[in-house]
Structure 1
Amino acid sequence: MTAQFSLERYLNVRSAYGASLSADGTLAFLMDTTGTSQVWTLDEPGRWPRQRTFDEESVGFVSWSPERPELVFSMDEGGNERAQLFRLDAESGEIHHLTDMPEAKHRWGGWSHDGDRVAFASNRRDESVFDVYVQGREERGTDAERVYEGDGWLSLAGWSPDDDRLLVVESHSSFDQDLYSLDLDTRELTHLTPHDGEVRYQSACWGPDGDGIYLVTDSDADTLYLACLDAEGELETVADGGDWNVDGVALDEESGRLAYSRNVDGYTELAVGELDGPTEIREFPEPDLPGGLAGGVSWSDDADRFAVTATGRADNANVYVVETETGETTRWTHAPTAGIPRESFVGSELVRFESFDGLEIPAFFSLPEDPTPGETPVIVDVHGGPESQRRPSFSGLTQYFLSRGYAVFEPNVRGSTGYGKAYTHLDDVEKRMDSVRDLRAGAEWLVDHEAVDPDRLVVEGGSYGGFMVLAALTEYPDLWAAGVDVVGIANFVTFLENTGSWRRAIREAEYGSLEEDREFLESISPTNRADRIEAPLFVIHGANDPRVPVGEAERIVEAARGNDVPVELRIYEDEGHGLSKRENRIDAYTDVVAFLDEHV
């Protein structure tokens, strides 16, 4: 099948997301019109937006000041993840460098309510740990005051309503966090969530009175639920997700209005309401948003409306503004589709297949239009993480492959989030290869599908998904016609030895430790089984990747090239953990498409 539109056109479909509403109702958001995500603003829905930043590097987030026509945004260099913070004067366009310490990472912690100060966490003092800083809006670099010296992975969840405390989050692993209140006068840190075992405390925010904390947690439960943590440290349920996770909450402190989302089999159910007491919610009508996925809520100054990003498999991301009490929804941004008709985009079907031990594995399956029975090639696309979840969001690359006659199969193998605590732990350490067995079961399900050509299965994935690609090729070489590894882990030992020191302990909690599990980690590492690779392999990596260093790509390519199979390597000098620049994505995936055309 020949695509009507080129790969470059599909990769030029734009996305608008990451909204923030100012005190006067101006919308700021990120959009990748120029090839990287930059800051844009809009005064009214549907108008042509105004571009506010003009850089070759992608902007990470944008946040309006609560009091002045200015905003903060972040940007790193070449994908190195050492984010710097900048303040943009919306009237003059002048950009003020807040942090100006390019060797350190900076995690945004929010504006104070008077707009005079900002807070952030940074590893300036020691690369492996994060401290808490407060800084005046006009200060820069070394002017920031270190208000707490940490000894782990700290981040911030915002200022208390009277700006005298900060909500501090300490992450021990992806499934275990603690919350603290930091008194900015005394510098005393109060532990709010003492607990045994692993408990998640996420999406935390201060309640209207500054005493209660609203958050999502899985304390004494398999799934995440919305709860209120009172001043005495007691948790009370506010909204239960049932069999599904409540995966986010956005609360306006002054009005008590809130929006929270349930992740139902990968789709978003967004609930909106107003607190009527600490744990009771007066519900408002649910907004009618397209696509099935929504997130990133930003409240207006008086909470009578909020901005939110919506997307779906057949809907590129755009920002909508919702009237809080009525649910009336207006689309504000119109991110273009590069001239490709929206109605030509293909949706997905949620399916399930049985794995080796009887476990049901969910997957999203997309078939091209009018597939020929028994002749359809399939790209099995594996998400990273592994503490993540493939959800049916828009991807121009996926739509291109569908237009070319490929089917796309996206499994949420064991270890994925979204299906309860127990499911996420089914791949821990010594059970790592059970998730690879899930891939084999998924491939066998595809082989039995009437549309699929069993000899043309491609496995593709990024980061941990890249490991899954390499493991699938080495464990089950007869199943695959080709593999595409993007910034993947090739050897768990060298990965853990060389990943950023600030994240090593978090990763060892998932994969196993170098001290206790080295022999096992070596045994499952694809570089040590690369002689089993029989399928053509394409590898993509960023030279500045701080998470999975580029040596992982070089090692697997060197090992696989001894097998007399086609192996291609593309390294991008101005990228990190993935490809963020459109020109690099076009370059890389043009070669991937040619590679698959030749070998699949």
Structure 2
Amino acid sequence: MPQYDVARYLGIDAAQQPAFSPDGERLTFVRDTTGTPQIWTLDEAGAPPTRLTAFEERISFVDWSPTRDEFVFGMDRGSDERDQLFRYDAADGTTHGLTERPEAIHGWGGWSPDGDQFAFTSNRRDAQAFDVYVQARDGGPDDAERVFESDGWLEVLGWSPDGERLALREAHASFDQELSVLDLETGEARVVTPEGEASYDCVAFGPDGDALYLVTNHDADTSYLGRLDLESGTIAGVADGGEWNLEEFVFDRDSRTVVYGRNVDGYSELYAGELTDETAVDATEVDLREGVATDVTLGPDGERFAFTFSANDEPFGVYVGELASDDDCAATAEPTRWTPLDTVGIPRSTFRDAETVRYESFDGREIPAYWTLPEDAEPGATPAIVDIHGGPEHQRRPWFYPTKQFFLNEGYAVLEPNVRGSSGYGKAYTHLDDREKRMDSVKDIRAAVDWLYEQEEVDPDRIVAYGRSYGGFMVLAAITEYPDVWAAAVEFVGIADFETFLENTGEWRRDHRSAEYGSLENRELLRAISPIHDVDRIQCPLFVQHGANDPRVPVGETEQIVERVRERGVPVEKLVFEDEGHHTTTRSNLVEEFERIRAFLDEHV
């Protein structure tokens, strides 16, 4: 099979985050064609997209006004995640700064129903607390009104139909959240969710404003679509996914159109239909090929929906589906890809598909994973990469990874486990690695290696640990706990020491992360799970990457692990980008990063 360099793989466009204009005629999306995510638009499938923004910094989101030919977008500096808000006037192409507080984070909260105002949260007043602000659409950076003071990590999820209330969410931990409704006239926020640990996503006010429709796992192991009555505080079920989570719920109040997804072992099912009663939905499954659908959004009249789709062999792109106008409101045809699919000369036939497997861990638990072999893998001669996701509550899903396809083209097999603690498999599964149980998830990685030993194609002496963020911690933990099974390790923005991580991470994140890992009040636990204290056990060569502007895992985590490993004489390579944060977002930096990783693996594996 022909070999292609990593720059070509990284040159494959990704188009995501679709949004309809208020007249429903145009679709915007975020696309990284220029090397940095920017806003593009088109008005029909297959039409040449037009770029609307040309900034050096990445765009994080775009949201059209419900009533005017304008939208708001977010942009940070150097990937520092301190988003500022901007308004783009589509009539003349001008951009207006709305916030201009580079030291603060701004979390978008949506347009008011009349499009005259918008809401957002920001930690301007206190670095660890997100207050609620409302600002006129044409207001300047000094015109925002603080309507509610918070003492934690707060988000605005939407406006009531009459524009007089806001739905708020406060997250104490990933699966410990509460919703409240803020009365904009009185400034009072009332908690509306029942007691008990739960997550609340995809929240939308009902047509009459007396209820919230949402995806939750309250009193359940998996997530379902529910209706939260704002007077009684009770949640009634509307639709559920059985043993799998529902997700991606969107709702149009006027047409009562609904679209939602079901996460089946990482793969997406989509359903479209209508809310026929307060707690009943009539929906049919959308004709969708095997892959992952995210970023679902509805057109202004509820007759079209758009979403981002990706599969092992298909890069991220935007699709649009039509809904019938008859009583059953069913999707009428297979959705159409609107954005171009350009693989820069790499045949799609060379992209390898993953197989869903399960392997047994130390306690008999079955761990789900995706397993992909390169073409013409030879028995006993194939190196393997164990690619560990971050989070830790995230889920690896079978979407397109250009770097994964590159490594497969280079002859590596790739195993992507969803170890205990991952989302997508029920609430109980996500808690199996909490605090004192942290190292049980690392044992799942050791069990993954044992599974690889049983695969006839794999060379047992050429297995690589590989992971980003929390996955970077897992790499460091794996090579210290089980040093004799790895040929090399590659980690990105990983946690080396949970004490220094919690001391230096963004103040707004500290309590949230302490709920998962343990708090600074229990330093004995943090030391017990921190790889930095077992550096003397590392035997394999190590590659470490970080962004200097990372607000989540400070770059000091990389500095200290590299220093300690070098002191021992173990080969270690460090790459720090001064203009990047938790993720490498600029294509030129990505090319440099993975060219160096390829050279590192060529040398050591």
The answer to whether the superposition gives a TM-score over 0.5 is yes
Paired residue for 1:467?
A: 473
Paired residue for 1:528?
A: 533
Identity %, equivalent residues: 57
One-letter code aligned to 1:351? V
Indicate which of 538, 541, 545 corresponds to 2:550. 545
Distance 1:116 1:339 in 2: 46
Distance 2:591 2:131 in 1: 39
Paired residue for 2:516?
A: 510
Residue 428 of structure 2 corresponds to residue 422 of structure 1:
yes
Paired residue for 2:560?
A: 555
Paired residue for 1:441?
A: 447
Note the C-alpha offset of 1:202: 1.8
Note the C-alpha offset of 1:291: 4.4
One-letter code aligned to 1:45? A
Bigger Cα displacement from structure 2, 328-337 vs 362-371:
328-337
* 1:127-146 matches, cutoff 5 A: 127-146=127-146
Distance 1:219 1:44 in 2: 40
* 1:34-433 matches, cutoff 5 A: 34-196=34-196, 198-231=197-230, 232-284=232-284, 286-325=285-324, 326-328=331-333, 329-433=335-439
Maintained 8 Å contact 2:193/2:234:
no
One-letter code aligned to 1:582? R
SS of residue paired to 1:558: helix
Maintained 8 Å contact 2:119/2:135:
yes
SS of residue paired to 2:397: coil
Moved over 4 A (4+): none
Q: Which runs of 5+ in 1 are unaligned?
A: none
Indicate which of 486, 489, 512 corresponds to 1:483. 489
Note the C-alpha offset of 1:531: 0.8
Maintained 8 Å contact 2:304/2:323:
yes
Distance 2:281 2:525 in 1: 49
Paired residue for 2:602?
A: 597
Maintained 8 Å contact 1:490/1:552:
yes
Distance 1:297 1:437 in 2: 36
Paired residue for 1:585?
A: 590
Distance 2:205 2:97 in 1: 29
SS of residue paired to 1:514: coil
Note the C-alpha offset of 1:459: 0.6
Distance 2:459 2:264 in 1: 31
Deviations 1:392-426 (A, max 9, x none): 11011000000111011100000001111111000
Note the C-alpha offset of 1:150: 0.7
One-letter code aligned to 2:221? D
One-letter code aligned to 1:564? G
Note the C-alpha offset of 1:438: 0.3
Note the C-alpha offset of 1:116: 0.8
Bigger Cα displacement from structure 2, 344-353 vs 3-12:
3-12
Distance 1:221 1:43 in 2: 42
SS of residue paired to 2:456: coil
SS of residue paired to 1:202: strand
One-letter code aligned to 1:273? G
Bigger Cα displacement from structure 2, 453-462 vs 327-336:
327-336
Pair 1:3–1:455, CA change in 2 (3 A)? farther
SS of residue paired to 1:124: strand
Note the C-alpha offset of 1:176: 0.8
One-letter code aligned to 1:363? A
Distance 1:301 1:226 in 2: 22
One-letter code aligned to 2:182? L
One-letter code aligned to 2:188? E
Deviations 1:133-177 (A, max 9, x none): 000111122210001111111001111111111111111110111
SS of residue paired to 2:405: helix
Deviations 1:104-129 (A, max 9, x none): 00000001111111100110100000
Maintained 8 Å contact 1:128/1:501:
yes
Distance 2:200 2:177 in 1: 6
SS of residue paired to 2:124: coil
Deviations 1:517-543 (A, max 9, x none): 201211221111111110000000000
One-letter code aligned to 1:93? G
Distance 1:139 1:279 in 2: 40
Maintained 8 Å contact 1:16/1:335:
no
- The count of aligned residue pairs is 596
SS of residue paired to 1:593: helix
Distance 1:128 1:3 in 2: 51
Indicate which of 501, 506, 522 corresponds to 1:495. 501
SS of residue paired to 1:269: strand
Distance 1:300 1:199 in 2: 30
One-letter code aligned to 1:548? V
SS of residue paired to 2:440: helix
Distance 2:13 2:599 in 1: 24
Normalising by structure 1, what TM-score? 0.98
Maintained 8 Å contact 1:291/1:315:
no
Distance 2:149 2:276 in 1: 38
Maintained 8 Å contact 2:130/2:153:
yes
Distance 1:457 1:314 in 2: 24
One-letter code aligned to 1:212? A
Distance 2:584 2:246 in 1: 30
